[in-house]
């Protein structure tokens, strides 16, 4: 939203940057809720596999969800500033897990044919294949959820003009290489597709099929659960800093409190508390309706790409002028490539906004309907109320002096 505030015409700057900031904040809350629930699902999947008589109920997921997030909230509050190396440990564990799981599955599986992997489309959704492909992009799109994390933590690093672009490009490069290789390797290991889609944790069943070992699959899932803890820990840090920054710019009710950085703890305590409370409330949604919670998760990638598309569209409207993109900046790509990248982001945002709101299969029922539109509308209402009650009078939007 800083970019939006700077790039937008002065007349629209406050409104557009506030909208972008609200969208980004909601997206990070949704990412947090999604990752935390995934951890709960992983843990209960392991338990239910080894205790066949145990059937997890919605409130079981709710309690584990709350426990995971509470523990990591407390860690962020009291320990993360003293142990920043945990992020490096999480990255190392993730890369090691990728290598071990990929090689093991390829070595142990009774591999499907290349024709099945590369040329077969199993479409039982009721949609045409093109629509199925576009709606199915929601899952791989989540791989890059949180891509902008380094931008929200720019004030925490040295030489952000160099560090942030490096982090962004490294995330894209590592994510593409590992994500593509992992996905293809797993496709070769699929033996029974129907059994995958009928479970709450398809990857667990896939690993059992690929490795032909319950123990190996469980070890892989336990490792993934550990990685989820590292991920949620980082998500809480990022989302709380986003709330803190938005509060510092007077974009939220109680901005005076939200903008405070605790002197001794070195963290935005009130922003952390607000983030924790909102994620707790999101967990309550799961108790009431899993379909509504799934819609909340789906908004994460939609809102994220919209928050990227707004400044990209403004940059295109500004003609990618040197007034905003100085020649001497550290990270610089050819002008034509910048136009292409910005254009792709805007087009892809429109595609996501349309197709990610569609149900994944038709005909639909009350439980299979995609309620993403309803969740987006609810978020818009809360954002509008905050604007009318507080931000309309107090929010100014960050600006910089471009004359120099």
Spatial CB neighbours of 214, under 8 Å, sequence gap ≥ 6:
49, 208
| Nearest-angstrom CA–CA distance, 84 and 284 | 31
Say what the pLDDT of residue 121 is. Answer: 83
User: How much is the mean pLDDT over the chain?
Assistant: 91
Band (pLDDT 50/70/90 cuts) for residue 35 is: very high
Greater confidence (289 vs 231) lies with 231
Say what the pLDDT of residue 397 is. Answer: 80
pLDDT tens by residue, 387-402: 999 999 999 887 776 5
Q: What is the CATH number of domain 2-394?
A: 1.20.1740.10
Say what the pLDDT of residue 364 is. Answer: 83
Burial classification of residue 155, based on how many CB atoms lie within 10 Å of its CB (0-12 exposed, 13-18 middle, 19 or more buried): exposed
pLDDT tens by residue, 108-127: 988 888 898 898 888 888 88
- Three-point CA angle 309, 311, 312, nearest 5°: 60
pTM of the model: 0.93
Distances (CA, A) of 210 to 38, 116, 177, 194: 21, 15, 21, 15
CB 30 within 8 A of CB 297: yes
Band (pLDDT 50/70/90 cuts) for residue 197 is: confident
52-66, 118-132, 215-229: least confident range: 118-132
Say how many CA atoms lie within 13 Å of 29 toward its Cβ.
25
Burial classification of residue 213, based on how many CB atoms lie within 10 Å of its CB (0-12 exposed, 13-18 middle, 19 or more buried): middle
Picking from 218, 242, 221, the residue whose alpha carbon sits closest to that of residue 25 is 242
Say what the pLDDT of residue 198 is. Answer: 83
Is it true that the peptide bond before 281 is cis, omega within 30 degrees of 0?
Answer: no
Structure tokens at 138: 């929601």
CB 312 within 8 A of CB 338: no
Picking from 371, 383, 288, the residue whose alpha carbon sits closest to that of residue 29 is 383
| Nearest-angstrom CA–CA distance, 42 and 245 | 33
CB 229 within 8 A of CB 67: no
> Cα dihedral angle (70, 74, 76, 82), rounded to 10 degrees?
-150
When pLDDT is averaged across residues 239-255 and rounded to a whole number, the result is 93
Neighbours of 281 (CB within 10 A): 11
Q: Give the 3-state secondary structure of 268-327.
A: CHHHHHHHHHHHHHHHHHHHHCHHHHHHHHHHHHHHHHHHHHHHHHHHHHCCCCCCCCCC
When pLDDT is averaged across residues 47-62 and rounded to a whole number, the result is 93
Share of the chain above pLDDT 90, in %: 65
């Amino acid at each position: 939203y800083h970019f939006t505030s700077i790039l937008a015409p002065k007349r629209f700057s406050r409104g557009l940057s506030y909208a972008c900031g609200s969208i980004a904040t909601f997206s990070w809350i949704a990412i947090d809720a999604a990752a935390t629930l995934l951890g709960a699902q992983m843990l209960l999947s392991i338990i239910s596999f080894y205790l066949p008589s145990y059937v997890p109920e919605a409130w079981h997921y709710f309690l584990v969800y709350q426990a995971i997030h509470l523990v990591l909230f407390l860690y962020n509050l009291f320990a993360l500033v003293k142990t920043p190396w945990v992020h490096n440990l999480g990255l190392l564990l993730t890369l090691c897990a990728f290598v071990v799981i990929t090689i093991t599955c390829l070595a142990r599986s009774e591999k499907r044919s290349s024709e099945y992997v590369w040329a077969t489309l199993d479409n039982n959704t009721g949609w045409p294949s093109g629509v199925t492909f576009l709606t199915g992009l929601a899952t791989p799109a989540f791989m890059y959820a949180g891509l902008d994390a380094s931008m929200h933590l720019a004030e925490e690093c040295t030489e952000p003009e160099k560090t942030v672009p490096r982090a962004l490009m490294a995330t894209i490069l590592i994510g593409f290489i590992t994500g593509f290789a992992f996905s293809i390797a797993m496709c070769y290991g699929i033996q029974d597709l129907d059994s995958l889609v009928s479970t709450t944790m398809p990857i667990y069943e896939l690993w059992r099929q690929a490795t032909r070992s319950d123990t190996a699959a469980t070890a892989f899932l336990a490792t993934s659960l550990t990685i989820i803890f590292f991920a949620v820990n980082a998500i809480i840090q990022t989302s709380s800093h986003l709330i803190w920054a938005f509060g510092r710019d007077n974009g939220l009710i109680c901005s005076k409190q939200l903008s405070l950085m605790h002197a001794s703890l070195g963290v935005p305590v009130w922003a952390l508390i607000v983030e924790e409370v909102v994620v707790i409330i999101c967990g309550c949604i799961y108790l009431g309706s899993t379909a509504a919670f799934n819609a909340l998760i789906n908004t994460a990638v939609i809102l994220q790409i919209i928050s990227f598309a707004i400044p990209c569209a403004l940059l295109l409207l500004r003609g990618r002028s040197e007034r905003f993109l100085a020649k001497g900046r550290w990270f610089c790509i050819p002008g034509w490539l910048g136009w292409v990248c910005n254009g792709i982001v805007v087009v892809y945002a429109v595609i996501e906004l349309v197709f990610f709101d569609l149900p994944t299969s038709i005909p639909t029922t009350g439980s299979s309907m995609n309620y993403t539109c309803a969740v987006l509308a609810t978020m818009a209402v809360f954002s509008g109320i905050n604007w009318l009650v507080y931000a309309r009078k107090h929010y100014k939007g960050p600006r910089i002096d471009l004359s120099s």
